[in-house]
Amino acid sequence: MDKASRGSLENIKVIDLSRLLPGPLCSMILADHGADVLSMEDRRFEKENHFVRPLYRNKKHMTLNLKQDQGRQIFLDLARDTDVIIEGFRPGVAEKLGVAYKDILPVNPGVIYCSISGFGQTGAFKDKPGHDVNYLGLTGLLDLMGAKDGPPSIPGIQTADITGALTAVTGILLALFHRQKTGQGQYIDISITDSLACFFPVLEFFRSITGFFPARSDSMLSHRYACYNTYETKDKKSIAVGAVEHVFWKKICLKLDLPDLIPLQYDEFHRKEVLEKLKKTFRSQPLAFWEETFKDLDACVTPVKTLDEAIQTPLFKERKILFKDDAGNLSPGIPVKLEKTPGSVKSLPVSFGQNTRQILESLGFDKDRVRELKDKGII
């Protein structure tokens, strides 16, 4: 673990009441950059096996039952001197538990309070449940994923949840900057669905040109043209071609000895013919042959790696996109590479409730009182 860098968010205290992916990913990023993060969950959730442990590096974790008065008071005691609180309850739940923004203000008026939910704190959908596939589906983005003739395909990664987490990080940093200038905290309403709006400027750009939004597997950046496509190789693997610009397309055509295709990059009349020529060409040789062919060509042609293959590549190792922590587990690197205050991984992911006793002792609870809290189901 890297003990040297303390990070840009040194001395910023965060309490994270959220679970699953969006909130914990958000607080992990803050922790990676020096924030002191304490995550809290009810002990009953331990049995659900939804504790994504890799998200809990650089953090502390305690169990706490907020439905009981004593549990809520412990939370409020900890909240007195925290800078940021993150919660991921459905709208209205924090209020029922007595841990909402309005409940914190009397003890900590400068707090930054971030609520992350599927559809936000207002609007007709605010009380509806949802997961990644629902947010993608309702925004129309899911309809862009998958084969043209068939139902949409659910991506193998949580696109909406991760976008929501990054939006929450942005909101928290903006609020911290505002507080630095004014001394004022504020409430942040993060809707995971709202966060997907960042995908729309490019979609609107294409609509302004063609008169229509892009269609699934039939648009400039999704399989319509040969220059931006994926192809199967002789050994049933795949290669990705991303030659949007004509200069790259020309180099690829010349390398494949297909100079007649150079002027046909976006030709609608010959579109299918060009696609078939490239499909036939790439199917003629295994992926290793094409990797060797294009390795020195400046033309946006890359192999489609499996996850197991990708983590072994020099790219992943040189940039530390992923690395093995001291326990031998794969861990994501720090993608924001700051020169003066770089983020770092200072401690391994904690287990569920690992720091409960430590936190309570810092509040003055002795061993007997801690045991009493456990017997009462408060921790």
Catalytic residues: 131, 161
Answer whether 46's CB lies under 8 Å from 144's CB: no
CA-CA-CA-CA dihedral for 13, 328, 358, 65, to nearest 10:
80
Residue 339 exposed, middle or buried by CB count within 10 Å (0-12, 13-18, 19+) = exposed
Closest CA to 184 of 113, 252, 93, 269: 113
Residue 283 exposed, middle or buried by CB count within 10 Å (0-12, 13-18, 19+) = middle
Answer whether 216's CB lies under 8 Å from 148's CB: yes
The pair of three-digit structure tokens given for residue 369, joined into one six-digit string: 């009182």
The CA distance from 352 to 52, in Å, is 10
